[in-house]
Amino acid sequence: MSKRYTITAALPYTNGPIHIGHLAGVYVPADIYSRYLRLTGNDVAFICGSDEHGVPITIKAKKEGVTPQDIVDKYHAIIKTSFEDFGITFDNYSRTSAKVHHNTASEFFKTLYDKNEFVEEVSEQLYDAEANQFLADRFVIGTCPKCGNEESYGDQCENCGTSHNATDLISPKSVITGNVPTLKETKHWFLPLNKHEQFLKEWILEGHKKDWKPNVYGQVKSWIDDGLRPRAVTRDLDWGIPVPIEGGEGKVLYVWFDAPIGYISATKEWAAREGKNWEDYWKNDDTTLVHFIGKDNIVFHCIIFPAMLKAEGSYILPENVPANEFLNLEGSKLSTSKNWAVWLPDYLQDFPNQQDVLRYALTANAPETKDNDFTWKDFQARNNNELVAIFGNFINRVVVLTNKYYNGIIPEPSDLSSIDQETLAAVKAYPSVISSSIERYRFREASQELMNLARLGNKYLADEEPWKTIKTDEERTKTVMFVALQIASALSVLCEPFLPFTSAKMKNILNSRDNSWNNISSKEILLPADHQIGKAELLFSKIEDAQIQVQLDKLEASKKANEAANKAIEPQKKEITFDDFTKLDIRVGTILEAEKMPKTKKLLVLTVDTGIDTRTIVSGIAESFKPEDVVGKRVTVLVNLAPRRLRGVESQGMILMTENESGDLVFVNPDIAEVDNGLKIS
Interface residues with Zn ion (CB under 5 A)? 144, 146-147, 149, 157, 159-160
φ, ψ of residue 538 to 5 degrees: the values are -70, 125
| Shortest CB 192 distance to Zn ion, Å | 23
Nearest alpha-carbon partner for 307 in 160, 164, 204? 204
At position 470, the amino acid (one-letter code) is: I
Lay out the sheet containing 170-174: strands in order across. 152-153, 140-143, 170-174
Task: Tell me if 48 is assigned to a ligand binding site.
Answer: no
CB 635 → Zn ion: shortest distance, Å? 39
State which residue, 147 or 462, has the beta carbon closest to Zn ion: 147
Least distance from C-beta 149 to Zn ion, angstroms?
4
Residue 635 phi/psi, 5° resolution? -135, 170
When the beta carbons of 146 and 615 are compared against Zn ion, the nearer one is 146
Please give the Cα distance from 298 to 319 (Å, whole number). 14
Nearer to Zn ion, 157 or 410 (CB): 157
The residue among 84 and 151 lying less far from Zn ion, judged by its C-beta, is 151
Core vs surface per residue 567-598: b (16+ CB within 10 A) or e:
eeeeeeeeeeeeeeeeeebbbbbbbeebeebe
Q: Would you give the end-to-end CA distance of the chain in angstroms?
A: 83
Q: How far is the CB of 157 from Zn ion (least distance, A)?
A: 3
Question: Is residue 17 a contact partner of residue 345, using CB atoms and an 8 Å limit?
Answer: yes
% helix / strand / coil in the chain, to the nearest 5?
Answer: 45, 20, 35
Q: How far is the CB of 445 from Zn ion (least distance, A)?
A: 32
Cβ nearer to Zn ion, comparing 158 with 350? 158
Q: Shortest distance, CB of residue 510 to Zn ion, whole angstroms? A: 53
CB of 366 to Zn ion, least distance (A): 25
Secondary structure element (H or E) that encloses residue 78, with its range: helix 68-85
Q: In the beta sheet, which residues pair with residue 373?
A: 328
Give the CA radius of gyration of the chain: 31
Number of Cβ within a 10 Å radius of residue 59:
17
Minimum separation from the CB atom of position 177 to Zn ion (A): 24
Rama region for 313: left / alpha / beta (φ>0; ψ in -120 to 50; rest): left
> What is the Cα–Cα distance from 273 to 642, expressed in whole angstroms?
73
**Nearer residue to Zn ion within complex by CB, 144 or 491:** 144
DSSP secondary structure, 140-201, as one string: EEEE-TTT--TTEESSB-TTT--B--GGG-EEEEETTT-PPPEEEEEEEEEEEGGGGHHHHI
* Identity of the residue, 60 or 138, whose beta carbon is nearer to Zn ion in the bound complex: 138
Instruction: Tell me if 144 is assigned to a ligand binding site.
Output: yes
HSE-CB for 603 with a 13 A CA cutoff: 16
Half-sphere exposure of 433 (CA within 13 A, CB side): 18
**Cα separation values, 308 from 108, 163, 229, 233, 554, Å:** 9, 16, 14, 11, 44
Taking the least distance from each CB to Zn ion, the nearer of 123 and 159 is 159
Residue type, 102: H
CB of 171 to Zn ion, least distance (A): 14
Cβ–Cβ under 8 Å, residues 130 and 120 = no
**Residue among 188, 137, 205, 195 nearest 166 (CA):** 137
- Between 146 and 397, whose beta carbon lies closer to Zn ion? 146
364, 382 in Cβ contact below 8 A?
yes
8 Å CB contact between 667 and 635 = yes
Beta carbon of residue 145, minimum distance to Zn ion (angstroms, whole number): 8
* Residue 157 marked in a binding site: yes
C-alpha dist (Å) from residue 625 to 53, 81, 138, 609: 48, 47, 40, 19
**Do the annotations mark residue 160 as ligand-binding?**
yes
CB of 147 to Zn ion, least distance (A): 3
The nearer residue to Zn ion, 159 or 519, going by C-beta atoms, is 159
Nearer to Zn ion, 326 or 343 (CB): 326
Annotated binding site for ATP: 336
Annotated binding site for Zn(2+): 144, 147, 157, 160
Annotated binding site: 144, 147, 157, 160, 336
